[in-house]
Structure 1
Amino acid sequence: MSDSNSILNPDQMATAAEDAAFGKATGGLLKSFLLGLTAGGYIALGFVFFTTSQVGAADLPYGVAKVLGGVVFATGLVLVVLTGAELFTSSTLTLTARASGRITWRQLVSNWVVVYVANFLGALTIVALVYVGGTWKNADGAWGAVVLDTALHKVQHTFLEAFVLGVLCNLMVCLAVWAAYSGRTTTDKVLAVTMPIALFVATGFEHSVANMFMIPLGILIKENAGPDFWTTSGLDRSGYTELTWPGFYLDNLLPVTMGNIVGGGVMIGVLYWTIFHFLPRRKSLPAPG
């Protein structure tokens, strides 16, 4: 009987992950850019779903509300995995292909830069659509209030806190992607992805691409919402003065991106490359003398 539907074992998963990383880094920059656009959009849509789930959730126990938001946000990464989109946070796993000498540093950095920029543009596309479409006015402004409060919290971390939360986030994202390589069916992959992503979102870890949606949308609402929004939502605009573009870039995006690279590329990619590739090769070398 064929075992084509059997899940991969850890050794096979490591090979699949490295092969995928090699394919991303050598598949062409235009392809990476276009797939990066879609990934940024999908992650932004995951945050759209998260925001909707949190409207009125203040009446729920804290943990229940956060887990609910985490589970629905996982829709974004599920779409990334199933469609083959290129997401910067999971693209940090190309460090495995570099460690094996299959790609150059130039290819790695080029892929990261192109995918990062494309993710940002894809996320901003959803920002524009949600803003112009007036989604932020839903529920008498309560939808926009969730965006504002979430975005404000994200720029209030210290640099070190944002960095560490970025490490923890991409630890979970890359574990989710790595685990998804074990699956052969859509159901396998959805199940592998959902709970690690729900964990990072529910706990408040920081994802650079997700923040490319939430914080810019919060800034747009703060800067452009009319008096009616502030009245119906019951919010005070003066409470969101920290929501600025410099604050977004320096207090959140920079440290979170750095943390994402360490958490995903080093703590997952390089670690598993060492376990499943480097150590077996070293063991197979003839003894000296």
Structure 2
Amino acid sequence: MADASPAIDPPEDIAAAIADTCVDKATLPAGKVIGLGVLAGAYIGFGSLVAVLIGAGVGDLPYGLTQVAAGIGFALGLILVLLAGAELFTGNTLMTLALAQRRIGPGQLLRAWGLVWLANLVGALLLVLLAIGAGLHLAGDGAFAASAIELAAEKASKSAASIIASGILANMLVCVAVWMAAGAKSAVDKVAVIVPPVAAFVALGLEHSIANMSLLPLGLLAQMATGAELPAGLSWGAAGISLLWSTLGNIIGGGGIGLAYWAIYLRAR
């Protein structure tokens, strides 16, 4: 007889499990946090590379379909993080749930966020340097580099308010993906719930700080390596400012999701 159990836990059970996980994350040794954070930055970087590749190779498709295809490719990054195991800053913004329960303190929260963010940045930069070293920017007779440069320029040219709002929306979707994956019963179920929200935020052009840790340097280094014309507004300084605004937006979006579920399911406990 086939198993009639649901493929995903009910939301209230996911809330309790996520809260326990957040407490565990807040108490991880620094070395472990950094190691897992570097891996997460690299894993998301792989998703970025695939998204740029798809964007370079499907130019004949209508705009919306091109963006969706790139989003599906980018989902590889979060799949690797959640199934292989790594520490991702944007997912860890859900730790506001454990903070609201008073199971962790503000100092523990900021320590966890700070270590993971920096480790994600290191992993992303190492991945991008390896990609450039491997000559990926030369793929498609320079189409890969052109795609990377165009995407980086688009991200760097947005206003602060636009980036913050976009970052809020992006991490709402990412944290919903993390939330559903936490309750999924199997690896296949986890992949099934991860892909749609991740593909959606990429297709909509929203700002994910950890993805930008690879996408922005990738565009800048591809421009340097190929000697292509530098688009107006794209620079290392602009990339850094964009990254900080997207981080703020991601904290608001993901932290808000965590607080919402705490208020709905765990506040009375």
Partner secondary structure for residue 140 of structure 2: coil
> For residue 36 of structure 1, what is the aligned residue in structure 2?
37
Superposition deviation, residue 184 in structure 1: 1.5
Return the TM-score normalized by structure 2: 0.96
Corresponding residue of 1:95: 96
Which residue of structure 1 aligns with residue 219 of structure 2?
218
Deviation at 1:181, TM superposition (A): 1.4
**1:37-91 deviation per Cα after TM superposition (whole angstroms, max 9, x unaligned):** 0100000000111111112322101111111110111010011011221100001
Q: Percent identity?
A: 41
CA RMSD for the aligned pairs?
1.6
Q: Give the number of equivalent residue pairs.
A: 268
The letter for the 2-side match of 1:132 is G
- In the alignment, what sits opposite 1:169? 170
SS at match of 1:162: helix
C-alpha distance in structure 1 between counterparts of 2:20 and 2:151, whole Å = 37
Please tell me whether the aligned partners of residues 5 and 185 of structure 1 are also in contact (alpha carbons under 8 angstroms): no
Is this contact kept in 2: 1:43–1:209, CA < 8 A? yes
TM-score (normalised: structure 1): 0.89
**For 2:265 and 2:115, how far apart are their aligned partners in 1?**
29
Cα deviation, residue 4, structure 1 = 8.0
Matched-pair contact (CA < 8 Å) for 2:145–2:223: no
Please state how far the C-alpha of 1:183 moved relative to its aligned partner: 0.7
Following TM superposition, by how much is the alpha carbon of 1:223 offset from its aligned partner in structure 2, in angstroms? 2.8
Q: Measure the CA separation in 2 of the matches of 1:256 and 1:120.
A: 13
The equivalent of 2:251 in structure 1 is 261
Structure-to-structure mapping, 1:1-289, within 5 angstroms: 7-226=8-227, 230=228, 237-238=229-230, 240-250=231-241, 252-266=242-256, 268-278=257-267, 280-281=268-269
**Equivalent position amino acid for 2:261 in 1:** Y
Q: Is the CA contact 1:218–1:243 (under 8 Å) kept in the aligned structure 2?
A: no
- Counterpart of 1:88, as a letter, is F
Partner secondary structure for residue 238 of structure 2: helix
Which amino acid in the other structure matches residue 249 of structure 1? Answer: G
Q: Over residues 133-169 of structure 1, what are the superposed CA-to-partner deviations in whole Å (9 max), with x where a residue is unaligned?
A: 1110111100000000000000111100000000000
* Offset, 1:3: 8.3
8 Å Cα contact 1:167-1:260 kept in structure 2: yes
| 2:220 alignment partner, SS class | helix
Give unmatched runs, 5+ long, in structure 1: 231-236, 282-289
User: Partner amino acid for 1:99?
Assistant: A
Quick one: distance in 1 between partners of 2:124 and 2:144? 18
Q: 1:5 Cα shift?
A: 7.5
- Find the aligned partners of 2:223 and 2:208 in 1 and give their Cα distance: 22
| Equivalent position SS for 2:26 | helix
Q: Does the CA contact (< 8 Å) of 1:88 and 1:112 recur in 2?
A: yes
Consecutive unaligned residues in structure 2, runs of 5 or more:
none
Task: Kindly state the Cα deviation for residue 111 of structure 1 after the two structures are TM-superposed.
Answer: 0.5
